Structure 1
Amino acid sequence: MSDSEVININGHQVGRGEQKQIELNIARLPTHTNIDLPIQLFRGKEEGPVLLLTGGLHGDEINGVEIIRRMIHQNLLMPQRGTVIAIPLVNTYGFIQNIRGLPDGKDINRSFPGSESGSLASLMAYTLMNKIIPHVDYGVDFHTGGEARSNYPQIRCEWENKSNQEIARAFSPPLILDSSVIDGTFRKAAQEKGTPIIVFEGGEALRFDDFTIQEGMNGALRLMHYLDMIEEGPEKQDTEIYDSSPWIRAHYGGLFQHESKLGDHVEKDQILGYISDPYGELWYEVKSPEEGRVIGLNNAPVVYKGDALVHIACDFLKTI
């Protein structure tokens, strides 16, 4: 357990029972404007675990930003026991420009564990790993689907990792996807330091999705309740667990029209949509290759051959 009488982050001391915002300086814009990383600390009066909530690691993924913002605004993050470290917006640079990565094209979530003397993405990753993670026991990293791609609310974690499984169960999302860690990601770097972090996915880039936002808030509160940080949390729900998740891709270029919706359970060979051309000559049925559940959709109507169309969670494990 990382909770101590006083948490010291970059020279800023926060005692039990206190709420404080501290700012870590990252770098300057070419205009000489400082870019800081605001971090909110909510410390209960009693000893307990330290929970990290992060959003906006990708600058255009705003649902995670809004999940944490609403929880701060509604005074939901002050625990009775333990500490919540909340970073609603990690990638300020990308957020300003409505882009996923940074001005140099780097992806922070492929730059961990980072370097103090590396690229801007590497520096931001290094700051998180060395200034924040040493204080943390558990974490939830909130993400959103990419441009024109929407995700059904889900947790991604390595299911066989007992620590990941424990907090994923407690979060109680609609769906859990057994997902291996990827080199360079925040999740893998933290896990190698002994800090389990699960990833929440939901919604579409640059658009608020109220269902996703509420699921994210409810899950965070369930986790806080499970960790005995707060007295009550939302009721748990049935959660389906899946082992794999292929994208179904376009065999032809054209105009794609959906028949399925996010969250739909689908059967093998069920029609998920149609590809047509602008001239009325092509009409191609897109079918599910196996039984599963729709967890992602490409909302762009114009598609090229090979484009990802529908994301299916397959190989159902169980419901918890």
Structure 2
Amino acid sequence: MLINGLVIRPGERVMTRLVISRLPSRTVIDVPVYVYRAQEPGPTVLLMAGMHGDEVNGIETIRRLVRRDLLQPLRGTIIAIPILNIYGFLNFSREVPDGKDVNRSFPGNPRGSLASRVAHRFMREIMPLVDYGIDFHTGGAARANMPQVRCLLGEDEQTDALAAAFAAPFTLHASLRPGSLREAAMQQGRRIIVYETGESLRLDETGIELAIAGTFRVLHHLGMVPNAVPAAQPSIVCRRHTWLRAKFAGLFRSHVQNGQFLEKGQVYGSVADPYGEGTVRLESPTAGFVIGLNHMPVVNQGDALVHIAWPDNLPPGRTEHWPHLLEAPPKSKEEDEEQV
């Protein structure tokens, strides 16, 4: 296997750095890439986070996997990239300095914008080696996502199998977006699923532990690790989902939680005039699960407030709230040294 000009042989584990560019101060910007190869041949799996620099939950997920030395496959290869967008990470930002989104810039251009150059380097060095991948994300801005996998459902058996193996609390059908990593991967016959949890710049402990457990289930499904903790509950599959948006500007107060089931007509929040002249109660036009929630108190007309999903396989005995959706699997016995 050749990455970044470095030959990596079976049984080796290495860390190499993809040099992306330099800051005006001449500081080199590079992307650390961890590669773990088994002696026995098998698939190559990509674990990547930090496409958006402020989405810290994926970064922390891969950091724990690397720190705890949990990425030693029985066969095949694991490529782990904790942070792709170093620029955004340093600036607490979703974008790179030119204001563009890396995840709308694939497959990239070596002479294009900075985001396009980052995407091109990844596509040239990493993507040709990958068979399957998990792209870890976090809700943007002040929007918190319920732990969920997003992928194209019902169009590719291997992608469906990856999502089922991960077994996140929710599995959503999500169309391919132009310029996204998933679209670029699909065009090359590679299967990538996206895992989302929490909101930007805040660690979601439950979502992180669910991410680690789901990753191991995917690796176990591919025969790369000997065992994995089964999911506590079957994933709730949703092929239809939409955001409820603000019809009025003002101060938004939510009356619901992520994972809660909303009945049609149920009040899910209110928008108040900041000068105390009135308040509008917000009623849900449909029933469904809350899988995303805006925590920003000041909203404008059209802002996304609550993400609602209609389940394909609604579990029996429905109740107002599903506590099991927020239960993380037991933590690893190995504790981080950072706790000392």
TM-score tier, shorter chain, comes to over 0.9
CA distance in structure 2 between the partners assigned to 1:288 and 1:141 by the alignment:
31
Say which of 266, 277, 280 aligns to 1:281: 277
Query: Is 1:228 aligned with 2:223?
Result: yes
CA distance in structure 2 between the partners assigned to 1:60 and 1:283 by the alignment:
33
Gaps of 5+ in 1: 1-6
Query: Is 1:241 aligned with 2:248?
Result: no
1:79-102 C-alpha deviation (Å, 9 max, x unpaired):
111111000000000100111001
Deviates more, 1:193-202 or 1:236-245: 236-245
1:279 Cα shift? 3.8
Say which of 164, 182, 186 aligns to 1:187: 182
1:274 Cα shift? 1.4
CA distance in structure 1 between the partners assigned to 2:135 and 2:93 by the alignment:
18
Q: Specify the alignment match of 2:127 in structure 1.
A: 133
Query: Is 1:116 aligned with 2:122?
Result: no
Say which of 5, 10, 19 aligns to 2:4: 10
CA distance in structure 1 between the partners assigned to 2:122 and 2:229 by the alignment:
30
1:128-176 C-alpha deviation (Å, 9 max, x unpaired):
1111111111000000001111100101100022221111111111001
The answer on whether the counterparts of 1:239 and 1:319 sit within 8 Å (CA) in structure 2 is no
Q: Specify the alignment match of 2:264 in structure 1.
A: 268
**In the alignment, residue 158 of structure 1 is paired with which amino acid?**
L
Matched residue count: 313
Q: Specify the alignment match of 1:3 in structure 2.
A: none
The answer on whether the counterparts of 2:251 and 2:274 sit within 8 Å (CA) in structure 1 is yes
**In the alignment, residue 149 of structure 2 is paired with which amino acid?**
I
Gaps of 5+ in 2: 316-340
The answer on whether the counterparts of 2:254 and 2:268 sit within 8 Å (CA) in structure 1 is yes
Say which of 163, 168, 187 aligns to 2:163: 168
1:70 Cα shift? 0.6
The answer on whether the counterparts of 1:266 and 1:292 sit within 8 Å (CA) in structure 2 is yes
Q: Specify the alignment match of 1:23 in structure 2.
A: 17
Q: Say which SS state the counterpart of residue 58 (structure 1) adopts.
A: coil
Say which of 211, 215, 218 aligns to 2:213: 218
Q: Specify the alignment match of 2:193 in structure 1.
A: 198
1:277 Cα shift? 2.1
**In the alignment, residue 34 of structure 1 is paired with which amino acid?**
V
1:192-230 C-alpha deviation (Å, 9 max, x unpaired):
000010111111001111011111111101101111101
CA distance in structure 2 between the partners assigned to 1:36 and 1:302 by the alignment:
37
Query: Is 1:300 aligned with 2:301?
Result: no
RMSD of equivalent CA atoms: 1.2
**In the alignment, residue 282 of structure 2 is paired with which amino acid?**
V
Instruction: Give the TM-score taking structure 2 as reference length.
Output: 0.90
Q: Specify the alignment match of 2:41 in structure 1.
A: 47
How many percent of aligned residue pairs carry the same amino acid? 46
1:319 Cα shift? 6.1
Deviates more, 1:246-255 or 1:52-61: 246-255
Instruction: Give the TM-score taking structure 1 as reference length.
Output: 0.95
Q: Are the structure 2 counterparts of residues 319 and 10 from structure 1 closer, same or farther at C-alpha, using a change threshold of 3 Å?
A: farther
